[in-house]
Structure 1
Amino acid sequence: MKINLTLLLSLFLLWSCGEKYEKKGFQVSEVVENEAGEKVAGLSLDTIKMETRPSKVLLTKNPAYRITPIFKVNTSKPSGEIFVGSPEYYSTWGDEDDKDGNNWNGNFMPGTTAMYGYNLVNLSLFDFQSKKAKYFFPKPVLIKTFYYPAFSKDSMDFKPVERNYYMVSVYDEDSNNDGFLNLKDLRRFYHFDIKGENKQVLVPPNYSVVSSQYDAGNDFMFVYAKKDSNNNGEIEESEPLDVFWIDVKNPLNRGLQYQAE
């Protein structure tokens, strides 16, 4: 089993940045009090001013499309020092990549690069054929993981592996109505076609994604998600953890594998 020291170091640095700089997330609506004196989310702040910066362009398998990650500019309150996140990558932890006939080039799944970053708030796709750019999301969100077609020449069982879609694990709604979009909200999982269009949910929206696992034997992905049983827009330790399967060859072919009683 490979030990990815780079990933461990990145996680430590992200934790350090989280302590020193602004926390992940941002305010999305006014917080007001109702008649009972309880704090609730008020009007949406559509004109919220957030400074963002692009980062290193992501090379996809298809040369017609390139992705630019957009990060929130973070400021250290004591010193005013600026910090902007940058792309980091998940790698495979098992030994499947080392088996004869397999070459994943260190990717989390063959043919798929999994990218994340501190306060990653959107993705911009540039189409070299139309010479136009578009955002994956109409407003800033909080992206946990972005899965895109790997630029590397990956193979599994001596066969080349190429993907023609994107998947995004993201906090895109103030689900608990506390006025902030952050890690307390429900995390959704979406599929986009190669043009960054036709967004479709892969896990029901009343769930929050917790983690994932790759099944090399079937070329499937297992997604662990908690159901928001009490509909309060947050996940709690007592709420059930279910497992969904996703066919990575065609992610729209998916279903519920295990449901907690």
Structure 2
Amino acid sequence: MKHYILILIAILSLNACKKRDNRKVIETKMTPSAVKKEDNTVDIADLPIYIDSTNYIIHPIGNYKIQKSRAEYFSGADYYSGDYRVANFNGYKIAGDLSNVKFQKVNSDVLKPLTNEVIKIHQMSFLFMIFEDTKNGFYVYDVIDKDTNANGKLDQKDLKSIYVSDIDGSIFKRISPQLQDLVQWKEMVINKRLYFKTLEDTDNNGEFNKKDTMHYFYLELNKADFEVVEYFPID
């Protein structure tokens, strides 16, 4: 019996290793427009979201995965009967599988897109503490903007970048370097900065080890040009 238990543990350990997030970077000239869209998805917009104390309404737009249900075999329906949601709103964060966001000023019917590029936004966060303190509004975005593993699509196996924009979606800008994976970010009200760190897979083996480099940055939120500075807390 002990022999079989040891074999089972070995198999489970092997499967766990196979499921590790090895996001290996493959250099490619593939443009964002060449990225494939999944056949079973359709672009839809969520109902608008209002962030408290601001003058803007948010319209999340994302890739909705078509679900099959027993009803379609009887009624011929094309889509799953649900609320067709592509994002979740919690406090000051909007998370989901978003391809774009549109901003609408209160008392206006004009919807302004955040970007015209092909990207995936997994989370956008309003820096409410900074807004309360300075009355200047910023959004931070966790974004996949490049098919870094050359599998023909943007997904969780690609490197993640960090973007920022003004409260109205303008000056949408990437602030992390190319080919560095976003690890974590944090706002600091005391000095009006956004801190973040990235991982550079220096040996390109898809794993974090001693040969790789962790980078540390901060963004000066009180400067109009979104100035990013690298700092070195480990030296």
Which letter maps to 2:121?
Answer: I
Work out which of the residue numbers 213, 217, 225 in structure 2 matches 1:240: 213
Work out which of the residue numbers 37, 50, 59 in structure 2 matches 1:59: 50
Q: 1:51 is paired with a residue of what secondary structure?
A: strand
Match of 2:122 in 1: 144
Summarize the Cα distance change of 1:127–1:213 in structure 2 as closer, same or farther, 3 Å threshold: closer
Which letter maps to 2:34?
Answer: S
User: 2:158 and 2:35 mapped to 1: Cα distance?
Assistant: 17
Which has a greater percent of helix? 2
User: 1:149 and 1:137 mapped to 2: Cα distance?
Assistant: 20
Contact 1:186/1:235 (<8 A) preserved: no
State the 1:225 CA deviation.
0.7
Summarize the Cα distance change of 1:148–1:138 in structure 2 as closer, same or farther, 3 Å threshold: same
Match of 2:190 in 1: 217
State the 1:260 CA deviation.
6.8
Match of 2:21 in 1: none
Work out which of the residue numbers 94, 109, 114 in structure 1 matches 2:93: 114
1:44 maps to 2:37 = no
Which letter maps to 1:88?
Answer: F
Summarize the Cα distance change of 1:172–1:153 in structure 2 as closer, same or farther, 3 Å threshold: closer
User: 1:250 and 1:260 mapped to 2: Cα distance?
Assistant: 26
Contact 1:74/1:84 (<8 A) preserved: no
Match of 2:148 in 1: 175
State the 1:223 CA deviation.
0.7
Match of 1:256 in 2: 230
1:204 maps to 2:177 = yes
Deviations 1:24-56 (A, max 9, x none): xxxxxxxxxxxxxxxx97982578764122224
Contact 1:242/1:260 (<8 A) preserved: no
Summarize the Cα distance change of 1:253–1:45 in structure 2 as closer, same or farther, 3 Å threshold: closer
Summarize the Cα distance change of 1:84–1:137 in structure 2 as closer, same or farther, 3 Å threshold: same
- TM-score, structure 1 as length reference: 0.58
Summarize the Cα distance change of 1:78–1:41 in structure 2 as closer, same or farther, 3 Å threshold: farther
Greater Rg by CA: 2
Deviations 1:198-242 (A, max 9, x none): 332211123121112333432322212112435x6x953233221
Q: Which runs of 5+ in 1 are unaligned?
A: 1-39, 90-106, 108-112
Which letter maps to 1:116?
Answer: A
Summarize the Cα distance change of 1:153–1:224 in structure 2 as closer, same or farther, 3 Å threshold: closer
Match of 1:86 in 2: 87
1:72 maps to 2:46 = no
Contact 2:42/2:64 (<8 A) preserved: yes
User: 1:59 and 1:226 mapped to 2: Cα distance?
Assistant: 34
Which letter maps to 1:85?
Answer: V
Contact 1:168/1:191 (<8 A) preserved: yes
Task: Count matched residues.
Answer: 191
User: 2:164 and 2:131 mapped to 1: Cα distance?
Assistant: 21
Summarize the Cα distance change of 1:219–1:149 in structure 2 as closer, same or farther, 3 Å threshold: closer
Q: Which runs of 5+ in 2 are unaligned?
A: 1-28, 71-78
User: 1:129 and 1:88 mapped to 2: Cα distance?
Assistant: 22
RMSD value, Cα: 3.7
1:186 maps to 2:176 = no
- TM-score, structure 2 as length reference: 0.64
Deviations 1:130-158 (A, max 9, x none): 742232122452212212364x9974xxx
